[in-house]
């Protein structure tokens, strides 16, 4: 079995060529301006085996024609089985124990309890009822920091529990479980959460509702696009929610119509903040930032303006990927913001300044290169295994099918870039007896939620989608992510890949690409600091190619 390269933390400095050009793509989104990233880069001199990544109990060499395959420069492994019980039943007692230890070691749980973090007892009780007993590392770092009234940027890898990291401190101060029992004096909204997609917005609402409980769930209102606006406005009037969660367009629209009162808002959360900085959200975000409370620490400057009557807000920005544009936004939208990561909290001001001067409107080739070429800080969970497989374009769907069979994947998300090709692929998979569903922007909000529900319920094995689903979507059962078309850069790779391996679970990411695209995969591997092994699927097995 080939050795994997070890990873270690290094400071990466961007190169000067545009990755867009290097990748041969002309449509790379210009929104990621210069980035300063701490990335894990591969170190060939310190080999790390798959076993040491937590697959010890599961990987086996194929004994059959191993010698022949080795002669041909390939080795065979039995891939990790998706169902833990199936694996365990084949193992000895000693391996069983080891297997469990590995899984626990991959889960990002902190040593503290929720009550030690300063959450009110009523809230801790609610959490326990919902099965949340131990905070994750990032929650243990973020909750006390936000409770101490700091503006923060929360950065932690995908699936590590960032939603509860901001939701719980908000519910400590707002709603029925809050610390003090003082009655609310205003009917204004107290917390606004902004998310870049409807699906993510609705998911965040569900998380709030879960913690609030059935009797208080009306206190959170979703304001996402694609849904009936009048009904949302009516619900605002009738239910008098204290928290709203929405997409930038709909929030800005209802705010402009005068039906959303956010001047006394105490919390503004920007989830997937680097995505919210995209050019298409710019106007709506501007309105939201201007009308939701007032930037903390700005009191003296606006003493005589109408803003003086507003409540100071805490600004909380969240993402697994924090390019420099976010750091810059945090500096201008927050007051002495702190960067909160799983095991550290540092003032944003203490971070090195941007290496190059940035322009606001559009990123130059240099800036773009910087953002593309520096790896996200631990934006990928350690429990993921990455592969790529070369296939001709006309064989891609077949390779996908063989990949799913070889990995015995139960719940697969396949990412593509173009809707037409995506629809064709659904048709081909269905024609070959594989239950598949499609999710993209051409579908109505209702159809999108129905499809997602079906997929979550296991009615479709494969979900074919595009960048729409790459951010924040939480489907814990997802055990395989496939890039059937390449992501535009390593940041997009990280968010796509992060749909699997949630909260310490194991996950596999396979990129199926054409030969001339391999160098892009290699580049992303370097930028992300992960090992992406070359593989093929033969005789129902995943075969790892030796480099
Ligand atoms: N302390 C906890 N105990 C048990 N489950 C948790 C805990 N915290 C979060 N989870 C669960 O972990 C999953 C991932 O959480 P969440 O979606 O917040 O991750 P994330 O870091 O925001 O991911 P992404 O970067 O992809 O948006 C969710 O199903 C959530 O309910």
CA angle 369, 375, 381 (to 5 degrees): 150
Q: Which atom of ligand 1 is nearest to the CA of 210?
A: 31
> 164 CB under 6 A from ligand 1?
yes
> 502 CB under 6 A from ligand 1?
yes
Q: Which atom of ligand 1 is nearest to the CA of 379?
A: 25
Which strand (E) or helix (H) includes residue 314?
A: strand 312-319
According to the model, what pLDDT value does residue 64 have?
Answer: 34
> 496 CB under 6 A from ligand 1?
no
CA distance 442 to 117: 44
Report helix, strand or coil for 101.
helix
According to the model, what pLDDT value does residue 305 have?
Answer: 53
Q: Which atom of ligand 1 is nearest to the CA of 207?
A: 31
CA distance 295 to 310: 9
> 503 CB under 6 A from ligand 1?
yes
**Structural domains in the chain, sorted by start:** 1-84 (no CATH), 103-137+146-350 (3.40.50.300), 370-544 (3.40.50.300)
According to the model, what pLDDT value does residue 352 have?
Answer: 74
Nearest CA to ligand 1 atom 9: 161
pTM: 0.78
CA distance 263 to 289: 11
CA distance 75 to 544: 6
CA of 342 to the centre of ligand 1 (A): 13
Q: How many CB atoms lie within 10 A of CB 67?
A: 9
Q: Which atom of ligand 1 is nearest to the CA of 272?
A: 27
First-to-last CA distance in the chain? 11
> 472 CB under 6 A from ligand 1?
yes
Q: pLDDT per position in the chain (547 positions), as tens? A: 333 333 322 222 233 223 333 333 333 333 323 222 223 223 322 222 223 223 322 323 332 343 333 333 333 333 333 333 333 232 333 333 333 334 445 667 777 889 999 999 999 999 999 999 999 999 999 999 999 999 999 999 999 999 999 999 999 999 888 777 666 666 689 999 999 999 999 999 999 999 999 999 999 999 999 889 999 999 999 999 999 999 999 999 999 999 999 998 999 999 999 999 999 999 999 999 999 998 777 654 444 454 456 778 999 999 999 999 999 999 999 999 999 999 899 999 888 765 433 223 333 434 444 444 343 458 899 999 999 999 999 999 999 999 999 999 999 999 999 999 999 999 999 999 999 999 998 999 889 999 999 999 999 999 999 998 899 899 999 999 999 999 999 999 999 999 999 999 999 999 999 999 999 999 999 999 999 999 999 999 999 998 6
């Amino acid at each position: 079995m080939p050795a994997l390269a070890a990873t270690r933390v290094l400071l990466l400095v961007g190169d000067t060529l545009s990755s867009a050009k290097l990748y041969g793509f002309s449509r790379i989104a210009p929104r990621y301006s210069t980035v300063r990233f701490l990335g894990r880069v591969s170190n060939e001199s310190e080999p790390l085996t798959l076993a040491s990544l937590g697959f010890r109990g599961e990987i086996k060499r194929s004994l059959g024609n191993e010698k022949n395959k080795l002669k041909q420069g390939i080795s065979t492994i039995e891939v990790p089985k998706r169902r833990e019980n199936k694996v365990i039943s084949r193992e000895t007692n000693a391996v069983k124990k080891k297997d469990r230890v590995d899984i626990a070691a991959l889960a990002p749980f902190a040593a503290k309890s929720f009550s030690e973090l300063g959450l009110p007892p009523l809230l801790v009780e609610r959490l326990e009822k919902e099965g949340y007993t131990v905070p994750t590392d990032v929650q243990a770092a973020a909750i006390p920091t936000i409770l101490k009234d700091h503006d923060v940027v929360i950065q932690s890898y995908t699936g590590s529990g960032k939603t509860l990291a901001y939701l719980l401190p908000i519910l400590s101060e707002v709603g029925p479980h809050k610390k003090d029992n003082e009655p609310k004096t205003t009917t204004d909204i107290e917390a606004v959460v902004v998310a870049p997609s409807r699906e993510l917005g609705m998911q965040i609402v569900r998380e709030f509702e879960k913690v609030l409980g059935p009797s208080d769930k009306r206190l959170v209102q979703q304001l996402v696009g694609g849904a009936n606006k009048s009904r949302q406005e009516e619900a605002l009037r009738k239910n008098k929610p204290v928290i709203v969660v929405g997409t930038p367009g709909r929030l800005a629209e209802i705010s402009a119509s005068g039906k959303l009162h956010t001047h006394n808002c105490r919390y503004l959360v920007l989830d997937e903040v680097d995505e919210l900085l995209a050019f298409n959200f710019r106007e709506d975000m501007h309105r939201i930032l201007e009308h939701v409370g007032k930037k903390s620490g700005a009191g003296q400057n606006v003493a005589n303006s109408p803003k003086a009557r507003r409540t100071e807000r805490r600004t909380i920005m969240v993402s697994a990927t924090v390019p420099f544009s976010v750091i810059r936004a945090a500096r201008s939208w927050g007051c002495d913001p702190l960067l909160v990561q799983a095991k550290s909290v540092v003032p944003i001001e203490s971070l090195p300044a941007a290496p190059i001067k940035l322009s606001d409107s559009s990123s130059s080739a240099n800036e773009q290169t910087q953002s593309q070429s520096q790896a996200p800080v631990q934006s990928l969970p350690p429990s993921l295994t990455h592969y790529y497989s070369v296939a001709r374009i006309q064989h891609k769907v077949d390779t996908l099918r063989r990949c799913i069979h070889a990995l015995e994947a139960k719940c697969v998300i396949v990412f593509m870039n173009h809707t037409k090709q995506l629809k064709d692929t659904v048709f081909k998979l269905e024609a070959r007896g594989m239950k598949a569903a499609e999710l993209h922007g051409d579908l109505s909000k209702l159809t999108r939620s129905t499809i997602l529900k079906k997929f979550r319920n296991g009615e479709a094995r494969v979900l074919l989608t595009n960048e729409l689903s790459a951010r924040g979507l939480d489907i814990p059962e997802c055990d395989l992510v496939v890039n059937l078309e390449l992501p535009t850069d390593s940041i997009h790779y990280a968010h796509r890949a992060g749909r699997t391996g949630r909260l310490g679970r194991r996950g596999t990411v396979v990129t199926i690409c054409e030969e001339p695209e391999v160098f892009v995969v290699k580049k992303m591997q370097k930028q992300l600091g992960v090992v992406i092994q070359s593989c093929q699927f033969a005789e129902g097995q995943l075969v790892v190619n030796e480099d």
